[in-house]
Structure 1
Amino acid sequence: MAPKAFTPAADEAKAAEEALPKIRRYLQDHPDRLTGIPVADEDGRQGLVLPRAALELLEGILAHMAAGRGVSIVPAHAELTTQQAADMLNVSRPHLIGLLDAGEIDYRKVGTHRRVRADSLLDYKRRDDRRRREAADELSSMTGEPGLD
């Protein structure tokens, strides 16, 4: 299944900007991860109950929409082309191929083409983000040491 891309129109971005603080407040006030989230329709009647994880995803989607950025939803089991995977990481396709060849991201070959599972790509992204945060924290702590000013 290919990623479903969506770029918000101006009125949709504005609606997302207005909804975002409400969702963030609700999540902050209700920290229990197992609680279902009631969603009411325009008349105030409860229409459905969403799992908290769905609302957390919705929060991320609304944040991107409010900023006018496009959003893609990719199932974890989806297999991506190397160009789709490179786009998700915001890197060039040749850089992604290097990561694949170095064993940083799992992939499989379909004929002569590489296919990257979305969950493998996201695992790499989480590891890379963690490495970057740790490096930034280390640099930050070094600037506070005597003699480094």
Structure 2
Amino acid sequence: MTHPAVSDMSLPAAKEVALAVQGQRALAAYLSTQLDTQRIQIFDDHNQAHAVELPTSALRLLMQILAELADGNAVQVVPVHAELTTQEAADLLNVSRPHFVKLLEDGQIPFHRAGKHRRVKFADLMHYKQEREQISAQAMDELAQQAQELRMGYE
């Protein structure tokens, strides 16, 4: 199953950013509950309210989406079990497709073939990305420590 490419997404307009800020604040005020579900109201074109019961976890996810929109970021929801094409995965890592294919062939990220095409599980891609970020953060910490030990003026 493929999903829209990252490049197909557009950044939120200023009005959307402002509404996201308001929506996030309003939701935050009510999500401190320990209940499994929440009832919200949605208004139709005739301004009639309709109650909708949703899992609290879904509203927390909505709050995270609103936070990203409030920061001016585009958002795309991808199921953890989703399978991505090599181009979609490369776009998410912000690398070229040939470089990404080399990562696959080198065994750094698990994949399987669907016919002659490679497919990558979203969860595996995010695991790889998280590992790379941890390695990068560790290297930065080591460089900062070394700079302090050498008294390079970064104190």
Aligning the two structures, in what range does the TM-score lie when normalised by the shorter sequence?
0.7 to 0.9
SS of residue paired to 1:71: coil
Matched-pair contact (CA < 8 Å) for 1:37–1:55: no
Equivalent-residue separation in structure 1 for 2:126 and 2:145 (angstroms): 28
Structure 1 segments of 4+ aligned residues over 4 angstroms from their partners? 21-27
TM-score normalised per structure 1: 0.74
- Give the Å deviation of 1:130: 1.3
Aligned counterpart, 2:140: 136
Alpha-carbon distance change, 147 to 69 in structure 1, aligned in 2, over 3 angstroms: closer
Give the aligned partner of residue 79 of structure 2: 75
- Aligned residue pairs, count: 144
Residue 81 of structure 1, CA deviation:
0.7
1:65–1:71 CA contact under 8 A, matched in 2:
yes
Name the % identity.
Answer: 38
C-alpha separation in 1, matches of 2:39 and 2:147: 47
Unaligned runs of 5+ in 1: none
Q: Secondary structure at the match of 1:12?
A: helix
Match of 2:61 in 1: 57
Q: What TM-score do you get using the length of structure 2 for normalisation?
A: 0.72
How big is the alpha-carbon RMSD for the aligned residues of Structure 1 and Structure 2?
Answer: 3.1
Deviates more, 1:3-12 or 1:80-89: 3-12
Cα distance per residue 1:122-148 (max 9 Å; x no partner): 111111111122122222222332534
Structure 1 CA distance, aligned partners of 2:140 and 2:35? 35
Larger Rg: 2
Q: Distance in 2 between matches of 1:46 and 1:74?
A: 27
Name the structure 1 match of 2:36: 36
Instruction: Give the Cα separation in 2 of the matches to 1:98 and 1:56.
Output: 37
Q: Which runs of 5+ in 2 are unaligned?
A: 44-49
What corresponds to 2:2 in structure 1? 2
